[in-house]
Amino acid sequence: MPYILGIETSCDETAAAVVENGRHILSNIVNSQIDIHRLFGGVVPEVASRKHVENIGLVVEKAIAGSGLTMADLDAVAVTNRPGLIGALLVGLSFAKAFAYGLNIPLITVNHLYGHIYANIIEHPHIEFPAICLVVSGGHTSLLLMENESDYQLIGETLDDAAGEAFDKVARFLGLGYPGGPAIQKAAESGQPGRYSLPRVFLNRSDLDFSFSGLKTAVMNQWRKAQQRGEAHVNDMAAEFQRALVEVLVEKTMEAAKRYKAQSIIMSGGVAANSLLRELMMSRGQESGRPVYYPSLSLCTDNAVMIAGAAYPMFVQGRFAPLNVNAQASL
């Protein structure tokens, strides 16, 4: 049973974890930069890269110590090399290359999105396929058809802003803070959707693509008009925005499940932690007779457990990366 060290630095979390046999989590260390980037209202790439340089050595050391193993026990090192902030990716990849070279163990590079998907495989080993997977985070909103654990086909994606990006931008505009997802959700708990009327974008189209830029613009326009009328209620706007965005995610996912005769529905990524999204998707899943799976909250956001887990099938198949492999900012 191989022990794989995972490293994740694609955005603003410096993370390392040790996973046994692709499923058994031995350690999971995440150093978040949220408090730093909150000052700027969003992630500053240069700041993120510098903080990764400062933190990665200690984070990896803690992950190995917390696993109860030594460096000599590790069978491979897995690292995110795509997609993400290029400077941040290079920090993790460079460290992983040196680590693999120094220990003379294989290097495995992992697609960040596949990592998010694999978080479900770790916690839900009995998912029935084919399945529709909604990957929804700050940088990505995609629908995938999965024939099995490692066979993915892109069937829909955002044409502009990702869902998490829309959360961040609207939260900043409304003065609710960063990160936007939790801030909008908290405000929405005290709000009433329906006071404002926001569009459910792209639901009238037959494709499975998303677009959230227009929804974001609609929020800004209606909010300015409401302020002029003296009818600006921030919690109600947050509630309507959250519901408008979530309903599109749910409807598109359910349409994909119906179209491709999926047995299961999977959600992954940071926005999969949203309570309204979970509630509505579970409800619609029950109506259609399809189970809905999503990771625990700690595995929704960026972490290295999912990277080490996703690397396991590649380890078994001998799909190792050369030491001159590069990072890729986009897919």
The string of pLDDT tens digits covering residues 299-327 is 999 999 999 999 999 999 999 999 999 99
Report whether pLDDT(331) > 80. Answer: no
pLDDT value at 267 more than 90 = yes
For residue 41, pLDDT beyond 90: no
Per-residue pLDDT, 171 = 97
In angstroms, the first-to-last Cα distance of the chain is 31
> Quick one: the chain helix, strand, coil %, rounded to 5?
50, 20, 30
Residues 5 and 99 sit within 8 Å (Cβ to Cβ) = yes
Segment 115-121 mean pLDDT: 95
Which CATH superfamily hosts domain 128-290? ATPase, nucleotide binding domain (3.30.420.40)
In this prediction, residue 80 carries a pLDDT of 98
- The span from the CA of 289 to the CA of 284, in Å, is 9
Tell me if the pTM is above 0.95: no
Residue 138's pLDDT is 83
- Which residue spans of the chain are classified as CATH 3.30.420.40? 3-116+300-317, 128-290
CATH 2.40.10.120 given to domain 3-116+300-317: no
The rounded mean pLDDT for the chain is 95
